[in-house]
Each structure stands twice: as structure tokens, then as C-alpha cells.
């Protein structure tokens, strides 16, 4: 982690000490963290997104069919999720229903990207918070005292898998390209389905590659997560946050609304169905004009105000029922409550994910959720490969409507993703994106409530202000 600038104070001081980490490294994007430490723990936090996207303005006046291509450029790690959300919004606006083969093709493309993204996150972004690589790039620079507790044999296994994980990512990209045209930024996800009619040869090539990836996930990724968890047991009690969760659901299993990973909202200890009307974005502390605060995505406006007094982020404060909600693997696993993997059951002695209880709302609990989800997606990819029909149509043509609205809700690997399109005179009049990192990494809202990562940082131990290791661990556990 680069850019740590603590003020000089002894670790046990009862004075508040501000630590600025800018940028937070080993994440995809631009993020700054400012935390106040008192008595060895974080007592306040501000998370700042310093990059203005402007995609909503870019899309105005364009052919609606451009949206899945343009919005993929929001993120180089999860472009397929943006293509999927955008295509779903257009499907809604165009009034088109996918063929079974088109649905399966989209699932295979997005599923392969999920596998790639979760492997990337653990091995190449987060794992270096728990293991030491050699004193060469990319394993350095690192904190002088980085709190590595694993025995050498486990450390060496994890570091050895680092390079193998790069190979798995390459293979996953090839899987995406076989049905999506290329990766990153696929061409094959469009309104009405997918452009590539799968051949038997393409499916066989996909399956051959997938076999290697699944073996890696089940035999190496999941076991090493649990091995690393053992020496860091305190991190199963650290980083709780608001304990509110939201999932829009992902991977349709039919055209009737059944998803592999379920939709659901968990607020103040109770479960609720998802209602898009309950989603609003607040901007009191964001660099956007105050006239745009408290709007739903269908009402949303994007009016930047970079010189606004009191603001500290280019991220809007997304709220569900006016409360902060965490999104991502933890939220999806909580909503779905699947059986744990064999490794998970053996290590934790539980059968269902929710039996983790409060341990799920922690730094390591989020890693466990991501690993368990990877196993579920891998099993589903195997099922979709068996269901895919070579030579059968994957695309349903549809005319551009003169005036229409569409809402696309799905899940990026990082969490809940929403795209909204308003079409007037057959071009895009308004487009709004509420992405996963906007839910997790947002600032305070108009009511003064911290964003999910800001709240989860409260109470995180920082025994050494010159080496705030746990701050980085907490932020990276969300994969922002």
C-alpha cells in the first residue's frame, strides 16, 4: 500500500491520529482512505473516490445499442457485468425475451469472468496482506512490519499459487473470448441475447479450459483461503459494518425470474424482497450538484460539481430505504444461503452459509464468501455447458423503440449493479449506472450515515500507525 502519511504519535496514544493512505493500492481504480486512530483502533473514516467517470454524459444522444460496448469501459476487470446489465436494460426497453441458448451463452460468458475476477482478487490483490512473497516486484514495496503470521510452508504454497493463478486468469479470458469475441470488453453480449451461436468445437474448447480452472478453484483456491484463515482468527471478528446487505440476483436459470444467486435485501436483521423504487442516491458529500440528491435511478441526473464545499468523493451515496447496504459475495451468499463447500464444512463445521453468523460480517468472512461463491459458479458453469445446444439460435432481433425505458439489474463480481436507460426519439436521452463499488465505497449521505466501508473500518485495530495493515485488509476484502 503506497502513500501512507501518518502523523507522528505513539501507538497507544489517547490523542486522535489521522492516517492518509493515497492511493490505496492493489485495487482496481482510484481510492483514498483517511482514518482517525485513537487508542490503537480506527474511530472515524472517510473513503474518497477521486475519479470522475462521465459515462452518463457520453451516452446521451447515442444509438441505444452502443451502450453495452461503451459501458464496459467503466471497468477493465468486470466489463462483462456492465455489458450484461446494459443488455438487460435494453432487453427491457426493446421488449425482447431471450432464447434459452442466448441466456445460457450470456451465463457462460459472465460465469467465466466471475471465476477470473475472484481468482484475481484473492491471489493478486488480497493475498499479499497475509503472505510474504520474495523481495522483488510485484511483492514489494510492502510495509516494514506487515503482520504476516502464516508458517513458512503455507506461505510458500500460497506464493507458488500466485503465478499459477495468473495462468488460470489467462485461461478464463480465453473462455470468455470463445463465446464473447474477445476479452476484455466482449463484443458478444447484445440486446436480444448473444451474437455467437456456439459450435460443438467451441463448447469443447471451453470445457477443456474450464476443467483446469475448476480443479484449481476446488483443490487450491478454496483450501488456501481456509488455511490462511486459521492464523488470522481475530479477523473473523473485525470489520463488521452496518450489517445491511443487498443483492439484485444473477445468472438466470430460466426466463421466469429464477436466479442461481438470489435477489434479496437484509436490513436490520430482517429479509426483504428487492424493490428498485427503494434505491436512491445522495450527494451532500459528493462532488455532484445538490439539486440531484435523493433521486431514484429512473430520476437520476449526473451534474458534476468538482469545487463543491464539504464534498470529498466522486462517488454518490447509494442507499436502499435510506440506509447504507453492503453488496458483493457476502450479500449474495447471505441472500442465497447455499450449502457450504466440502472444505468449508470440514473447516468450519457448518452446513449452510448463514450459519457463519456474525463471523460472515468480517474481513475474513468476506473472503470466505467469495471463495464459496466461486465454487457455486464453477458448478453452474459445468451445468450450463451440458445444457448449451450447438447450432441453436442465441439472438432475438428487435427494433429500436421510438420512446421507451429499461432497467437492467444484475451482479458484478463486486456486487449489485444497475443500469437504467431512457430512450426518446430512438436515441438515449438519459442513462444511469449504480455500480457495486458505488454501494460499498461511498461517502456519508445527507443523513450523515457513513458508507459501508467507512462504517466497517470503525474499530479496526491499528496497533502500529506507521504500518496500518488492517486498514488495507479491510478495504481490499470488499474488492473495490
In a domain, 24, yes or no: no
Distance CA 109, CA 61 (A): 29
What are the angstrom distances between the C-alpha of 327 and each of 101, 191, 247, 441?
29, 26, 6, 10
The closest alpha carbon to 400, from 93, 193, 107, 46, belongs to 93
Question: So what's the pLDDT on residue 367?
Answer: 98
> What residue spans of 360-457 are helical by DSSP H?
363-387, 436-440, 452-457
Is pTM beyond 0.75? Reply is yes
| Residue 120 confidence (pLDDT) above 90 | yes
Judge whether 297 lies within some domain: no
The neighbour count for residue 15, using CB atoms within 10 Å, is 10
The tens digit of pLDDT for each residue in 393-402 reads 999 999 999 9
The pLDDT score that the predictor gives to residue 8 is: 46
Q: No. of H helices and E strands in the chain?
A: 13, 13
Minimal CA–CA distance to 456: which of 241, 244, 268, 242? 241
Q: Are 168 and 119 in contact (CB under 8 A)?
A: yes
- Kindly report the backbone phi and psi dihedral angles of residue 226, in degrees, each rounded to the nearest multiple of 5, phi listed first: -70, -30
**What is the pLDDT averaged over residues 189-213?**
98
Model pLDDT, residue 475: 98
- Listed in order, strand segments (DSSP E) in 202-282 are 245-252, 259-267, 270-272, 279-282
- Residue 251 pLDDT: 98
Higher pLDDT, 30 or 64: 64
Give the model's pLDDT for residue 13.
61
Domain that holds residue 382: 55-277+318-477
Beta bridge partners of 423: 404, 428
Contact 415, 440 (CB under 8 A): yes
CA distance 469 to 238: 13
Mean pLDDT of 356-361: 97
Overall number of domains in the chain: 1
Q: Are strands 403-412 and 317-320 parallel, antiparallel or unpaired?
A: unpaired
Going by C-alpha positions, the residue among 194, 186, 135 that lies closest to residue 159 is: 135
What is the C-alpha separation between 117 and 41, in angstroms, rounded? Answer: 31
Is residue 180 over pLDDT 90? yes
CA distance 237 to 455: 14
Q: How far apart are CA 244 and CA 231, in angstroms?
A: 28
The distance of Cα 62 from the centroid of its chain, to the nearest Å, equals 28
At 412 the three-state DSSP class reads: strand
Q: Looking at residue 47, what DSSP letter applies?
A: E
The pLDDT-based confidence of 3 (bands split at 50, 70, 90) is low
Q: Which residues contact 207 (CB under 8 A, 6 or more apart)?
A: 385
pLDDT tens digits for range 322-335: 999 999 999 999 99
Looking at the DSSP bridge assignments, the partners of residue 461 are 41
What's the pLDDT score for residue 309?
97
CA distance 78 to 101: 23
Average pLDDT over residues 222-240: 95
pLDDT in tens, 389-424: 999 999 999 999 999 999 999 999 999 999 999 999
Question: Is the distance from CB of 173 to CB of 180 less than 8 angstroms?
Answer: no
**Quick one: which H or E segment has residue 431?**
strand 427-434
The three-state secondary structure class of 46 is strand
Residue 191: CATH number of its domain: 1.10.645.10
Average pLDDT over residues 269-284: 98
For residue 288, being part of any structural domain is answered with no
**Is 19 within a domain?**
no
pLDDT of 11 above 80: no
Contact 384, 194 (CB under 8 A): no
How confident is the model over 61-85, as a mean pLDDT? 95
Let me know: does 81 contact 410? Beta carbons within 8 Å: yes
Q: Diameter of the chain by CA atoms?
A: 69
* Dihedral Cα 471, 40, 6, 45, nearest 10 deg: 50
List pLDDT tens digits, range 417-465: 999 999 999 999 999 999 998 999 999 999 999 999 999 999 999 999 9
> Which of 437, 420, 418 shows the shortest CA–CA distance to 428?
420
Adjacent-strand bridge partners of 36: 18, 44
- What cell numbers appear for 280 in the block? 436512491
For residues 14 and 38, is the Cβ–Cβ distance under 8 A? Answer: yes
SS3 assignment, position 417: strand
Integer CA distances (angstroms), 91 to 68, 98, 279, 420, in order:
11, 8, 21, 11
Q: How far is it, in rounded angstroms, from Cα 399 to Cα 443?
A: 41
Q: Exposure string (b/e) for 28-42, b if CB count within 10 Å is 16 or more?
A: bbebbbbbbbeeebb
Residue the block writes with cell 436494460? 89
pLDDT at 340 over 60: yes
- Please, which residues have CB within 8 angstroms of residue 153's CB and are 6 or more apart in sequence? none
Q: What is the pLDDT of residue 4?
A: 58
Q: Which helix (H) or strand (E) holds 4?
A: none
Is residue 7 pLDDT above 90, yes or no? Answer: no
Residue 1 has pLDDT above 80, yes or no: no
Q: Provide the pLDDT for residue 274.
A: 98
Amino acid at each position: 500500500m503506497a502513500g501512507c502519511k501518518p502523523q507522528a504519535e505513539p501507538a497507544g496514544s489517547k490523542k486522535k491520529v489521522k492516517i492518509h493512505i493515497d492511493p490505496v493500492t492493489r485495487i482496481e481504480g482510484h481510492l483514498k482512505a483517511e482514518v482517525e486512530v485513537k487508542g490503537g483502533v480506527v474511530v472515524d473514516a472517510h473513503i474518497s473516490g477521486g475519479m470522475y467517470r462521465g459515462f452518463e454524459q457520453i451516452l446521451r444522444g447515442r444509438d441505444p445499442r452502443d451502450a453495452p460496448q461503451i459501458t464496459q469501459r467503466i471497468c477493465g476487470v468486470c466489463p462483462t457485468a456492465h455489458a450484461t446489465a446494459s443488455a438487460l436494460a435494453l432487453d427491457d426497453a426493446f421488449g425482447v425475451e431471450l432464447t434459452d441458448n442466448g441466456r445460457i451463452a450470456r451465463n457462460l460468458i459472465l460465469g467465466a469472468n466471475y471465476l477470473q475476477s475472484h481468482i484475481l482478487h484473492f491471489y493478486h490483490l488480497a493475498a499479499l496482506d497475509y503472505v510474504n512473497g520474495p523481495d522483488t516486484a510485484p511483492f514489494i514495496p510492502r510495509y516494514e512490519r506487515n503482520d504476516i503470521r502464516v508458517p513458512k510452508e503455507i506461505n510458500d504454497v500460497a506464493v507458488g499459487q500466485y503465478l499459477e493463478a495468473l495462468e488460470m486468469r489467462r485461461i478464463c479470458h480465453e473462455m470468455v473470448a470463445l463465446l464473447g469475441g474477445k476479452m476484455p470488453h466482449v463484443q458478444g453480449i447484445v440486446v436480444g441475447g448473444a451474437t455467437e451461436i456456439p459450435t460443438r468445437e467451441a463448447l469443447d474448447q471451453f470445457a477443456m479450459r474450464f476443467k483446469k480452472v475448476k480443479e484449481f478453484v476446488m483443490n487450491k483456491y478454496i483450501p488456501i483461503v481456509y488455511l490462511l484463515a486459521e492464523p488470522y482468527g481475530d479477523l473473523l471478528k473485525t470489520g463488521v459494518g452496518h450489517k445491511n446487505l443487498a443483492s439484485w440476483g444473477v445468472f438466470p436459470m430460466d426466463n421466469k425470474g429464477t436466479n442461481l444467486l438470489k435477489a434479496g435485501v437484509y436490513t436490520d436483521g430482517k429479509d426483504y424482497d428487492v424493490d428498485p423504487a427503494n434505491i436512491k442516491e445522495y450527494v451532500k458529500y459528493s462532488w455532484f450538484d445538490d439539486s440531484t440528491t435523493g433521486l431514484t435511478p429512473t430520476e437520476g441526473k449526473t451534474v458534476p460539481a468538482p469545487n463543491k464545499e464539504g464534498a470529498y468523493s466522486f462517488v454518490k451515496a447509494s442507499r436502499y430505504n435510506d440506509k447504507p447496504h453492503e453488496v458483493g459475495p457476502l450479500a449474495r451468499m447471505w441472500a442465497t444461503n447455499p450449502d457450504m463447500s466440502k472444505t468449508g464444512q470440514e473447516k468450519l463445521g457448518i452446513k449452510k452459509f448463514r450459519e457463519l453468523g456474525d463471523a460472515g460480517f468480517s474481513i475474513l468472512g468476506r473472503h470466505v464468501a467469495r471463495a464459496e461463491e466461486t465454487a457455486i459458479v464453477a458448478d453452474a458453469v459445468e451445468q450450463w455447458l451440458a445444457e448449451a445446444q450447438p447450432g441453436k439460435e442465441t439472438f432475438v432481433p428487435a427494433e429500436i423503440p421510438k420512446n421507451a425505458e429499461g432497467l437492467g439489474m444484475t451482479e458484478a463480481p463486486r456486487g449489485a449493479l444497475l443500469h437504467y436507460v431512457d430512450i426518446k426519439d430512438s436515441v438515449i436521452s438519459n442513462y444511469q449506472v449504480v455500480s457495486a463499488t458505488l454501494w460499498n465505497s461511498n461517502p456519508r449521505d445527507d443523513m450523515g450515515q457513513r458508507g459501508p466501508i467507512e462504517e466497517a473500518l470503525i474499530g479496526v485495530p491499528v496497533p502500529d500507525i506507521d504500518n496500518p495493515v488492517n486498514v488495507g485488509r479491510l478495504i481490499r476484502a470488499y474488492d473495490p
